[in-house]
Amino acid sequence: MKYLSEQREKDRGLRQQVKLAMIYPTIVVFMMTIIVMGLGLFVLPNIVQVLFSLNVDLPITTRAVIYVTKVFSDHGAVFVPLIFIGMALFIILGKFTHFRVVSQWLVFHIPGIGRLGREAAVARFGVVLGGLLKAGVPIIDALESLIEVTNIVTFKNFYKKLLEHVKIGDSFTKGFGTIKNSEKILPVSVQQLVIAGEKSGSLAESLMQIAKIYERKASETAKALPVILEPILLLIIGALVAAIAFAIIVPIYSVVGNVTNA
């Protein structure tokens, strides 16, 4: 019970770190969505009227802005709520249905966040499996418990395949070597530590050491996540602002050039 309580506390702390690390990008993305909607509903419609009155050939970026603005103006009362409903539906489906495979794949390919997710998952592998083995739980029961508490589909499927090998008497060495692309789930260094622990009879200690290493890595990544994501988010916001500015300024410069030439 002592080992299990410690494992539970470490598991809770790791999940809390991941949640705290996600606050910053979530706020930025939410605010960016609100700003874009505000531009589409209240600012751009007035500017579009001016662009139409210039009577010049509009570039494709300007036509794209006009089209988006028209959608917001004509269907904003329906379109805006649908965006929020769609976001909520995406979260619900990603949490409670098989759609979680897609949502997790997307999350794991976001710079910084994907790395944090993988490190947290490996740490959880070491904490849960190592804690259970240290508490005297048989390896098969421990792996079954690990599968039950794992929410990430790719890791869950990997643990299921590993359990099948263990049930027929295979070692972790053979299981890792047989399962296709196992190194993409558990890094080779982690596999080597597990194999060494298995051969030396200190598997539980090796797993707990893996947990300590990857808990530290996850903690460092969580602290650095704002630094990793900030330039990416700034680039996205800057590109959006630049595209809107370009779409508005180019027709105006065209008119000024025509007037100057005349």
Mean model confidence pLDDT for the chain: 79
**pLDDT at residue 61, as a whole number:** 75
* HSE (side-chain half, CA atoms, 13 Å) at 55: 2
152, 123 in Cβ contact below 8 A? Answer: no
- Please give the Cα distance from 6 to 12 (Å, whole number): 10
- Please give the Cα distance from 139 to 116 (Å, whole number): 27
Instruction: State mean pLDDT over 247-260.
Output: 68
**pLDDT at residue 228, as a whole number:** 74
Q: Which residue has the tokens 């196992």?
A: 182
* pLDDT tens readout for residues 149-208: 888 889 999 999 999 999 988 888 888 888 888 888 899 999 999 999 988 888 889 998
- The yes-or-no verdict on residue 255 having pLDDT over 70 is no
Judged by DSSP in three states, 51 sits in helix
Please give the C-alpha separations between residue 213 and each of 101, 127, 163, 201, in angstroms, as whole numbers: 27, 11, 24, 20
**pLDDT at residue 229, as a whole number:** 74
What one-letter code names the amino acid at 184? K
Q: Is the pTM of this model over 0.85?
A: no
Q: Which residue has the tokens 């200190």?
A: 202
- The yes-or-no verdict on residue 134 having pLDDT over 60 is yes
In this structure, what DSSP letter does residue 110 have? S
Is 95 exposed, middle or buried (CB count within 10 Å of its CB: 0-12, 13-18, 19+)?
A: exposed
CATH topology of domain 113-219: Receptor-associated Protein (1.20.81)
* pLDDT tens readout for residues 10-31: 667 766 766 776 777 777 777 7
- Please give the Cα distance from 162 to 142 (Å, whole number): 12
Sign, CA dihedral 33-34-35-38, equals positive
What is the SS3 string spanning 177-188? HHCCCHHHHCCH
* HSE (side-chain half, CA atoms, 13 Å) at 258: 10
* HSE (side-chain half, CA atoms, 13 Å) at 233: 18
Please give the C-alpha separations between residue 216 and each of 2, 28, 122, 209, in angstroms, as whole numbers: 22, 26, 11, 11
Q: What share of the chain in percent tops pLDDT 90?
A: 11
Backbone angles phi, psi at 59, to 5 degrees: -65, 165
Judged by DSSP in three states, 159 sits in helix
191, 210 in Cβ contact below 8 A? Answer: no
- The yes-or-no verdict on residue 6 having pLDDT over 60 is yes
Q: What angle do CA 87, 68, 252 make, to 5 degrees?
A: 140
The 10 Å Cβ neighbour count of residue 217 is 17
In this structure, what DSSP letter does residue 42 have? I
